[in-house]
Amino acid sequence: MAVFSYAVLDPAGKQRKGTLEADNPRHARQVLRDRGLVPLDVTAVNADNRRGKEKTVASRASLPVAEVALFTRQLATLLQSALPIADALMAIAQQSERAQSKALVSSLRSQVLEGRSLATAMGQYPRAFPSMYCATVAAGEHTGRLDLVLSKLADYTESSHKSRQKVQLALIYPSVLLGLAVLVVTGLLTYIVPDVVKVFADQGQALPPLTQAMLDASDFLVNWGVWALVGMVVGVFAFRALLRNEARREMADALTLKLPLAGRMSLAANSARFAGTLSTLVSSGVPLVDALDIAAAVLTNTALKRVVGEAAGQVREGSSLKSALERSGRFPPMMIYMIASGEQSGELERMLARVADSQQSELDNRIATMLGLLEPAVLLFMGVAVLCIVVAILQPIFSLNQMIT
């Protein structure tokens, strides 16, 4: 089937443009008439030009994680119902509410109809379908178990999305509370403290140390607050620019792993992601060495990414996965023991899934503990700050009363 661009009049008399697939121009006009549209112009789209446009759009096209999870589940369900891939993609495109999602899925269907594999078509959209996703789909196509592989991939994608969503929802209240605390303290220091303290300063009364410190802080916020905020923003962008260098990024990530709280959370998060990805790939028929290369790419910590890359090289030379990861000394001992058990019993993918669940559970517990401490810490900060401001205002008043008496 060819692709045609068209211009039509809808029943309301408004002109509309778009594209559709048809056998020939006459068929395209008939399809438009069946939709209740009046064809004005129907032109065949050159395949080479269309591919060029697709490559240009591919660098920008993306899908939210929630939509990727939904798309994967829908596609797995339709394929398990013995529906052809092209028909399944068409059904998903018709059901999509967002125009960008509809266009992306329609593009996948067009490429599949042209003879490309689904994994190859998805590879044109790296921001929507990461390398791990495409490799898993390719393994499913190669083994003829695409429906089962997509079902596992849907479970993994939905689990990752739920974990991320849980953290985002849990951070809403502390973030709002911290923002209000900063606004209240800034407002008190900027507007209240100077007006009240000015009365005592004009009388030539010596101000207590705490009051003078609050007045200095107020002057700084009034005169330099905006510039301090700009400096912080510039500093963040400068720091991110420095981390674009691979050597500096790896050094910073290695340092992060040594920090008491952040290091454990980073290790748990990356271990869960690594084990979950590796389990999905191995159970889908991807060779272990290739699966290690792909799993390394999904890690966010570059120091761990380098370790997994070295481990993949050792496995390629004949080493066991347990020995290769153990030599690095980076991963948790429990994870190493479970991988060794999986290799000995021939159930590596099942043990990796257990490792992922274990590390994710540990990460969730640490995040819950951190968030549980964050809320009272913000309230304590706000209370102490307001108390200091109130005491700074009352001290000159008490001093003045003592002078009068």
DSSP string, 33-86: HHTT-EEEEEEEPPHHHHHHHHHHHHTT----HHHHHHHHHHHHHHHHTT--HH
pLDDT greater at residue 322 or residue 148: 322
Judge whether residue 81 has pLDDT over 70: yes
Burial bucket for residue 69 (CB in 10 Å: 0-12, 13-18, 19+): buried
pLDDT of residue 202: 66
Rounded to whole angstroms, the Cα distance separating 233 from 302 reads: 25
pLDDT of residue 61: 63
Mean pLDDT value of segment 184-193: 80
Residues 6+ apart with CB under 8 A from 273: 160, 298, 299, 300, 356
pLDDT of residue 234: 93
As beta bridge partners, residue 369 has none
pLDDT of residue 12: 80
Rounded to whole angstroms, the Cα distance separating 181 from 187 reads: 10
Please choose, from the candidates 26, 176, 175, 20, the residue with its C-alpha nearest in 3D space to the C-alpha of residue 102: 20
Mean pLDDT value across the chain: 81
Judge whether residue 56 has pLDDT over 60: no
pLDDT of residue 205: 64
Helix 85-95 to helix 99-113 angle, to the nearest 10 degrees? 170
pLDDT of residue 175: 83
Mean pLDDT value of segment 275-289: 81
Rounded to whole angstroms, the Cα distance separating 192 from 186 reads: 10
Residues 6+ apart with CB under 8 A from 203: none
3 state DSSP class of 20: strand
For 17, phi then psi, to 5°, come to -130, 155
pLDDT of residue 60: 56
Judge whether residue 131 has pLDDT over 50: yes
Judge whether residue 78 has pLDDT over 50: yes
pLDDT of residue 59: 44
Judge whether residue 260 has pLDDT over 90: no
pLDDT of residue 3: 67
Query: 28 falls in which pLDDT band (50, 70, 90)?
Result: confident
Mean pLDDT value of segment 322-344: 88
Judge whether residue 2 has pLDDT over 70: no
Any idea which of 196-210, 237-251, 290-304, 340-354 has the lowest mean pLDDT?
A: 196-210
Write the pLDDT tens digit of every residue in 7-24: 888 888 788 887 777 777
Rounded to whole angstroms, the Cα distance separating 92 from 79 reads: 12
Query: 298 falls in which pLDDT band (50, 70, 90)?
Result: confident
pLDDT greater at residue 272 or residue 398: 272
End-to-end CA distance of the chain: 99
pLDDT of residue 401: 57
Judge whether residue 55 has pLDDT over 60: no
Mean pLDDT value of segment 140-150: 79
Contact of 371 with 170, CB cutoff 8 Å:
yes
pLDDT of residue 58: 44
